[in-house]
Amino acid sequence: MRPAMLAIAVVGVTAFVAASGTGLLAQQPALDPQGSVAVVVTYADGRRTPMTVGPNSGGAWTNVFPRVAGWAPPGNDVPVGAINYVCARTAEGVRVAISVYRGSQRTSADPITTVTVTPDRPVVVDKELRAVGVEAVTLTLTALTMPDAPLPVVTAVSPDIEVVNLSMVEKPVPRYILRLTNHSAKAVRSLEVELTRGGRPARSIKAADDEGQVLMAPGGNVGLQLQIPTGRAGAGSAVALAPADGIVISSVLWADGSFSGDASWARDEAVLYFGQRFQLARVIAELERARAAGPGATVAGLRTALGNLPVEATDGIVDEARQNLAPGLAMSPADALHLLNLSLSRMRKLALDDLTDFESGPPLAGALQAWLKTEVERYQRWHDRLAAR
């Protein structure tokens, strides 16, 4: 198996924060255009947490933020459940696009505003956030420094997962590069990786490949890129990274549904994969209907059909997902329902996004039918990978 280098998504990022005084900003170290910087978000309750922005982009989301007291959403609007920050480096500083997720599912973000933060000028976002029930935030741009620290110690819950190599790079984004080998006769579907500091978790990361492919075949290996967390934003002008002293492979979900390590994480992952596979079957059916319609099929009609796919799991789906769990894994109906609804929503959004990408291309005769054929084959392979045990 060829080695795969993955960009790993950070799970459960908490609130960010920002500096305030422009006098401090004027004294900060020069920003490295080839390295990373920190955008600090200061909330109305005084919390200050930085997020790392590389030479091109960065960002994060949080579900912890002060709300406007007494505010109620108008009409049938759903209250804000999370704030999302998408950052892009510019010649002047960092452009930050702020959006919000409604409710608990992060499937569609409503844009709030886009601002540019420079080293000498913090930006306050007030009325736009207060209009959706969120207290104002202040964004500050500052340098990011890397203290000297030894490489963390790596441990794994399964003896079949061998640590081959660990290194650290500072540019373009400070990160650990961890290479693992799977000595089991079973393929690895996904891993939970925890960065620890002082024996306590500092960041939890999911390592998984795309479109149902296994992360590591039997005897295969993988390279993981683990972004180094930032420390707390203090009163000074620069933000320091907070290197981990441990990396723990705390859970392994094998491709046959069995697990090693943290049972609760493996159980949640298995249910999410079940929902993904279930919704893929529905998406494939709609694409096949459009193929059967031939020249009568339209993008608008397919968009309506995909948009009408249910994202609320029935009792039957919940029961099937729970029964599908490997021995030693159990989940309540309520927890399974939440995860299944999240997975169903994500897969429907992905299918709609793929259709939007197709529509943005040049209008060519027969292009829709050719695209449908390609997508049916792609989604079917994805579905079959998840169904394989």
- pLDDT score for 29: 57
Number of domains, the chain: 3
Can you give the CATH number for the domain in which 223 is found? Answer: 2.60.40
| pLDDT for residue 9 | 34
> Is pLDDT of 150 > 50?
yes
Residue 284 has phi, psi (to 5 degrees) of -60, -40
Judged against a pLDDT cut of 60, whether residue 266 lies above it is answered with yes
Residue after which a domain boundary falls, among 129, 145, 161: 145
Instruction: Give the range of the structural domain holding residue 224, as residue numbers without chain letter.
Output: 148-257
Residue 233 or 60, more confident:
60
CA–CA dist 257, 329 (Å, integer): 10
| Same domain flag for 333 and 272 | yes
| 287 shares a domain with 185 | no
pLDDT at 7 over 70: no
Q: Summarize the confidence of residues 348-352 as an average pLDDT.
A: 96
**Residue 2 belongs to a domain:** no
**pLDDT (tens digit, 9 = 90+) per residue, 169-191?**
998 999 999 999 999 999 999 99
pLDDT mean across residues, the chain: 89
Last residue of a domain, one of 229, 257, 285: 257
Segment 274-314, tens digit of pLDDT = 999 999 999 999 999 999 999 999 999 999 999 999 999 99
Give pLDDT tens digits for 21-78.
334 444 555 788 889 999 999 999 999 989 999 999 999 999 999 999 999 988 888 8
322 and 231, same structural domain?
no
Does residue 138 lie in a domain region?
yes
Q: Which residue has the tokens 């990160």?
A: 175
Residues 186 and 247 in one domain: yes
The pLDDT-based confidence of 231 (bands split at 50, 70, 90) is: confident
Is there a domain that residue 73 lies in? Answer: yes
Q: Are 247 and 187 found together in one domain?
A: yes
Residues 343-362 have a mean pLDDT of: 93
Phi-psi region of 159 (alpha: psi -120 to 50; beta: other; left: phi over 0): alpha
* Burial letters 35-58, b for 16+ CB under 10 A, else e: bbbbbbbbbbeebbbbbbbbeeeb
- Please check whether residues 19 and 129 belong to one and the same domain: yes
- Asked if 279 and 383 sit in the same domain, the reply is yes
Q: What is the mean pLDDT of residues 111-139?
A: 95
Please indicate, yes or no, whether residues 141 and 17 belong to a single structural domain of this protein: yes
- Please indicate, yes or no, whether residues 31 and 141 belong to a single structural domain of this protein: yes
Q: Are residues 247 and 230 in the same domain?
A: yes
Instruction: Render pLDDT for 100-111 as a digit per residue (tens, 0 to 9).
Output: 998 777 777 899
pLDDT exceeds cutoff 60 at 11: no
* 36 and 141 inside one domain: yes
> Considering the domain boundaries, does residue 195 fall inside one?
yes
pTM here? 0.81
> Whose CA is closest to 256, among 360, 207, 184?
184
Average pLDDT on 304-332 reads: 95
Distance CA 227, CA 9 (A): 9
- Would you say residue 209 has pLDDT above 90? yes
Give the pLDDT score at 88: 97
Q: Is residue 120 part of a domain?
A: yes
Boundary (domain end) residue, out of 223, 257, 291: 257
What is the rounded distance in angstroms from the CA atom of residue 250 to the CA atom of residue 263? 10
